[in-house]
Amino acid sequence: MAIRKQNRVDWSIAITWLVLCLIGWITIYSAAYNADYDSIFSFNMSYGKQFIWICISALLGGVILLTDSTLIRNASLPVYGIVVLMLLLVLFMGTVRGGARSWFGIGSFGIQPSEFSKVAIALLLAHFLGEGKEPLKNIRHRLIALGILAIPAGLILLQPDTGTVLILFAFILVMYREGLSGTPLIIGICSIIIAVMSIIINSETYSLPFGPAEFSGQTLLITLFLTLGVIAFFMVRKLAFPRSRKKLLRLTAIITISIVGFISSVNFIINDVMKPYQRNRVYILLQLPVDDDPWADWNIKNSKTAIGNGGLLGQGYREGAITKFRFVPEQNTDFIFCTIGEEWGYLGSLTVLALFTFLIFRLIIMAERQRSVFSRIFGYSVACILFMHVFINIGMVIGLAPVIGIPLPFFSYGGSSMMAFTVMLFVFIKLDSDRLIALR
């Protein structure tokens, strides 16, 4: 019998949201300041528009808190369908910005459907995985869950917006929490290691010690893994039972061929699919020589210089020498953390990180106390998406991640990002407030 008592709203999340939004707003004002529009409410500038988005997001949050949580559950499939339709339409009717056709232009504003894909995937994935016990133990259910993730990801990749696609991998962590085998994670980590090895080694040519012939790094890697495959087979064969030799040989061959094919695919993508500026971003991250562009790493150097220039206490609000004179690109969007680092210093940056850390851990704690599988999965989805955004954005501006256009939640200018993250947070706040009357 369902308990009719309703929990009170956990206002700690809502208050943290408001604090982050306000700090982000005044940071955008500093990063994009224009003396001709010196009011923070100047709607001709990004800081004035951001205030509008914060107000709209707050209104959305209030409406969500007044909505029946059952309606939120039932809206999972319609919301997913609408977002997928928007992702399809934007490929034909969208506006091109930054080389990607991912925006619907509405006057001086714009809507980016890919930001809302995170909400849609989180809702439908929670709805699907919440239907049965341990659904990810079944191969059919795994494929359906993968399809829920793959359809929007494929449409976003066509825009192309590789940064958002990378963020969607956060849902793999959610599936792992819900019983997915750790094998995909191990394979993924190994694939990253092999891909990095392939890119680094293939960036040079190598000479044979006994002659003038040269060969590429790709040839070296393929030869290396073929040799390791043969050695591994004969070593394990000595320890295996005779009846398992055929299976062992087949498994060794499959693994070796897969690795060789993966190496060839990585090099094909790097050399033949990626555009020069995309390839340069990967090379800069790996400290490799870039392709005929001595200025390719200029932005990252200035970004790290700005953060280092902040010192312990910072240069003061609107007093950062690097950011004040626009030496860092996209200061009010992707690189806004540079403004925080230079103006507020190490302590200010640490405070912002502490707020995000509190928010993410609070979401995880709330997710674990849910009686509903739907609510738990949605809570973990919000926490993982936030973590990926913060980790990649800050890693990007300090040179630990490639520059792929990932916004810092509640700080980077943008209405779509602000509304999408606000909706996710307040939907989970609502679900948590009704956790004692959850039906499943």
Distances (CA, A) of 173 to 120, 179, 253, 272, 381: 17, 10, 30, 31, 8
**Tokens at residue 309, please?**
């220039």
pLDDT score of 258: 75
Please give the Cα distance from 273 to 64 (Å, whole number).
Answer: 43
233/186: higher pLDDT: 186
Paired strand residues for 103: 95
User: In residues, how long is the chain?
Assistant: 440
Other Cβ atoms within 10 Å of 35 Cβ, number = 5
State the average pLDDT over residues 321-341: 82
Please report, for the chain, how many H helices and E strands are present, in that order: 17, 5
329/291: higher pLDDT: 329
Strands 95-97, 109-111: pairing is: unpaired
pLDDT grade, residue 379 (50/70/90)?
Answer: very high
* pLDDT greater than 70 at residue 208: no
State the average pLDDT over residues 190-215: 60
Please give the Cα distance from 206 to 199 (Å, whole number).
Answer: 14
pLDDT score of 356: 94
pLDDT grade, residue 287 (50/70/90)?
Answer: low
> Which of 201, 156, 180, 229 has its CA nearest to residue 405?
156
pLDDT score of 211: 47
Please give the mean pLDDT across all residues of the chain. 80
pLDDT score of 439: 47
pLDDT score of 333: 85
**Three-state DSSP state, 148:** helix
Please give the Cα distance from 224 to 310 (Å, whole number).
Answer: 46
Instruction: List pLDDT tens digits, range 57-106.
Output: 999 999 999 988 889 888 899 999 999 999 999 888 878 776 778 888 77
% of the chain residues with pLDDT over 70: 77
**Tokens at residue 299, please?**
């932005």
State the average pLDDT over residues 132-138: 67
pLDDT grade, residue 192 (50/70/90)?
Answer: confident
Cis, peptide link before residue 209, omega less than 30° from 0: no
**Three-state DSSP state, 12:** helix
Instruction: List pLDDT tens digits, range 385-431.
Output: 999 999 989 988 887 777 787 899 999 998 899 999 999 999 999 99
* Residue appearing with tokens 């928007």: 86
pLDDT score of 3: 41
Q: What residues contact 61, with CB distance under 8 A and at least 6 apart?
A: 14, 17, 422, 423, 425, 426
Q: What sections of 158-297 are H helices per DSSP?
A: 162-168, 170-177, 183-202, 217-239, 245-268, 276-285
Instruction: List pLDDT tens digits, range 253-278.
Output: 777 777 777 777 777 777 766 677 67
> Which of 203, 240, 248, 242 has its CA nearest to residue 221?
203
State the average pLDDT over residues 122-134: 82
Instruction: List pLDDT tens digits, range 347-375.
Output: 999 999 999 999 999 999 999 888 888 99
Distances (CA, A) of 92 to 89, 107, 158, 227: 5, 18, 11, 49
Longest dimension (CA), the chain: 82
